[in-house]
Amino acid sequence: MSFAFGFLLGALAWFVIRCVLGGFYTVNQNERAVKTSFGRADRIEGQTTLDDPVSASLQPEERERYEFPQVRVIQPGGPYFKWPWEKIHKVVVSTETVSMAFDPESPRANRGGEFLEAVTKDQLNTGLTGQIRFRASERNLYAYLFGVKNPLTHVMGYFISILRERIANFSAPPKAPVAGHPNDLSSGSAIGVSINDLRKNLRDLNEHMDRECESSAARYGMTLEASLITGIDPPPEVESALAAINTAYNQVSSDISLAQAGADQKIVQSRTAVEIETLKAHAEVEPLRALAAQLSDLKQRGGAEALRSYLRSVRLKLFKQARRAIVEVSHV
């Protein structure tokens, strides 16, 4: 009897410690949790990720492939309680930063995560350096916990594939012609060196990566908050050639700018000269117009005799100012 009583008492103590006291748990501020019962996540019936804005960036053909059930997310706090057949999966949702060359499955890859290799449009092998910031998406924890085996590996592979595709097809956007200079040249159209184009358009490249990676939360349950490509280095054997091309292009650009400045200055000077001569012509014409108006008025008031008297007075005034007068005499 005493043995049976002791066994029952021990079993009861084990049950209390294991199932009651051991069933309490808490969730930290930087964590979210999902509960499973016999391996099945606690789902919100009738709702999937397609009903959530997290899937808005998916293409129509991708929506069926990345349809995940919505699960009940346990928010920070506690203590909470779970039964022995239930399991709590905690996820850190704080933002993390890694090198874009980091390979979760092979840390030695990409020269120890120092830089990522990519081939440009002009068939040059370049090294890219930079960082990406990511975090687990609270709106799609099912995909993060149960959809893929290693979400970070999938996200890094997805990011690198998009980046390499963009590098391989990148060309500088066409430069709008400047008014008055239809033959203006730009680095993209005149030289077409993709490494130079990439270096000058790093901001556009980063913005393109942010747009293309918006669907990572719906695909893998991880949100790529930002990508920052900080360096693009060509192979050492072509570095000197690129430097020579840049020097030549800068010289050409300088000569073109000087020629355009000289042409602009000459155009301004020509316009100024035309305005001055126009004003001089107006100044000479105005007195003649005023005189014509006076003569017309004189003729209307006094008739032809008044006009002849005016002309005789003008002639006398001219004869008075002249030192010598030549008079034509007709011989009969």
Phi first, then psi: what are they for 281, rounded to 5°?
-60, -40
Between CA 284 and CA 274 the distance in angstroms is 15
Query: Quick one: pLDDT at residue 70?
Result: 92
Is the CB of residue 186 less than 8 Å from the CB of residue 200? no
- Where helices occur in 114-185 by DSSP H, the ranges are 141-142, 151-169
Between CA 33 and CA 82 the distance in angstroms is 12
Question: What mean pLDDT comes out for the span 226-232?
Answer: 82
Out of 45-59, 292-306, 315-329, give the one with best mean pLDDT. Answer: 45-59
**Does residue 189 have a pLDDT over 50?**
no
Query: 269 vs 262, 263, 265, 276, 323, CA distance in Å?
Result: 11, 10, 6, 11, 44
Query: 286 vs 227, 274, 292, 294, CA distance in Å?
Result: 72, 18, 10, 12
> For all residues of the chain together, what is the average pLDDT?
79
Domain ranges (residues) in the chain: 8-234
- In the chain, pLDDT over 90 holds for what percent of residues? 8
Amino acid at 228: L
For residue 98, the SS3 value is strand
Question: What mean pLDDT comes out for the span 217-233?
Answer: 85
Query: Quick one: pLDDT at residue 17?
Result: 64
Between CA 184 and CA 190 the distance in angstroms is 10
**Does residue 111 have a pLDDT over 60?**
yes
Place of tokens 């300088």: 254
Closest by Cα among 164, 32, 24 to 84: 24
CA atoms within 13 A on the CB side of 160: 22
Query: Quick one: pLDDT at residue 190?
Result: 41
pLDDT in tens, 27-49: 999 999 999 998 898 999 889 99
Q: What is the DSSP string of 234-288?
A: --HHHHHHHHHHHHHHHHHHHHHHHHHHHHHHHHHHHHHHHHHHHHHHHHHHHHH
pLDDT in tens, 256-292: 888 888 888 888 888 888 888 888 888 887 877 777 7
CATH number of 8-234: 3.30.479.30
